């Protein structure tokens, strides 16, 4: 069993439906729960007929010391929408963007990328099973609840997933410091961004398989951007290329 403690993350999960989840709610004088967001959560839980389990504040603190008197529990190790890559590709619209994350390990970065992916309408995000941040409460918090909405596809082999994406008509763009400036890039109608690990960047295996390597022009003193910031900028550039 896994848990989400952030109120925003809990609220978005419930807005999505909260299938398979249950709510642990602190009772008694020491209960931390208060405020309009807590009321919204309890109302949504009742509307969705979600199981609600009264608990002591001390019990919740043992699970997550940063809780606000409410925890959302869900089976397994991941929350949020999960879908088959083949099904998502079959339903992909004519103009769309997707992401492949090449072993992003920091949950804050994963959460921030999911938040931007939701904001810019990415149809899915692909991550590997190994050497990558799993979905967690930290990811849900960093995503401000967006993890409840963005389909996260976990795959055994990123290279195989990339080939499937290309065969579905996507043009693939690897984010690489030595790549061509994104200023000169006209993104294809179906585009997939591939972003590398925080320390090592894009792996050679994937860099050799993408259609094009692109970079973000820099004018300051540091030589790179945080991967979540780079993802947001590149997704914005895609949307700018396809404004109606």
Sequence-distant (6+) residues with CB within 8 A of 76 are: 2
pLDDT in tens, 114-132: 999 999 999 999 999 888 8
Backbone angles phi, psi at 211, to 5 degrees: -75, -30
Indicate yes or no: pTM above 0.85.
no
Q: N- to C-terminal Cα distance for the chain?
A: 45
pLDDT in tens, 76-102: 545 455 568 999 999 999 999 999 999
pLDDT in tens, 147-168: 888 899 999 999 999 999 999 9
Helix or strand (DSSP H, E) at 161: helix 158-167
User: Contacts by 128-133 with C-beta closer than 8 Å and gap 24+?
Assistant: 128/101, 128/102, 128/103, 128/154, 128/155, 128/156, 128/157, 128/158, 129/154, 129/155, 129/156, 131/103, 131/105, 132/101, 132/103, 132/104, 132/105, 133/104, 133/105, 133/106, 133/107, 133/109
pLDDT in tens, 7-55: 888 888 888 777 778 889 998 877 887 778 888 888 888 888 888 889 8
Bridge partners of 172, per DSSP, are: 192
Sequence-distant (6+) residues with CB within 8 A of 153 are: 82, 83, 84, 85, 88, 124, 125, 126, 127, 161
What would the DSSP string read from start to end of 189-211? SEEEEEE-BTTTBS-HHHHTTSS
Residue with tokens 């499937």: 164
Domains of the chain: 2-74 (3.30.1330.30), 85-241 (3.40.1280.10)
Name the strands in the sheet holding 70-74, side by side, starting at the edge strand that comes first in the sequence: 2-4, 70-74, 22-27, 52-56
């Amino acid at each position: 069993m896994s848990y989400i403690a952030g109120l925003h993350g809990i609220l978005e999960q419930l807005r999505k439906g909260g299938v398979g989840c249950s709510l642990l709610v602190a009772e008694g004088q020491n209960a931390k729960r208060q405020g309009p967001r807590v009321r919204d959560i309890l109302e949504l839980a009742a509307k969705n007929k979600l199981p609600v389990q009264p608990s002591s504040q001390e019990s919740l603190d043992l699970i997550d010391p940063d809780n606000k008197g409410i925890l959302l529990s869900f089976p397994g190790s991941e929350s949020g929408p999960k879908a088959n890559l083949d099904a998502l590709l079959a339903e992909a619209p004519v103009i769309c963007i997707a992401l492949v994350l090449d072993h992003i390990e920091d949950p804050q970065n994963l959460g921030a990328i999911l938040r931007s992916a939701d904001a810019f309408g990415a149809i899915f995000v692909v991550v590997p099973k190994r050497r990558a941040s799993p979905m967690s409460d930290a990811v849900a918090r960093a995503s401000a609840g967006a993890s409840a909405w963005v389909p996260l596809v976990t795959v055994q082999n990123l290279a195989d997933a990339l080939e499937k994406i290309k065969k579905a008509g996507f043009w693939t763009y690897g984010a690489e410091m030595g790549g061509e400036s994104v200023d000169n890039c006209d993104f294809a109608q179906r585009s997939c961004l591939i972003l590398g690990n925080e320390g090592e960047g894009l792996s050679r295996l994937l860099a050799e398989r993408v259609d094009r390597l692109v970079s973000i022009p820099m004018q300051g003193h540091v030589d790179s951007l945080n991967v979540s910031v780079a993802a947001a900028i590149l997704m914005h550039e895609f949307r700018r290329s396809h404004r109606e």
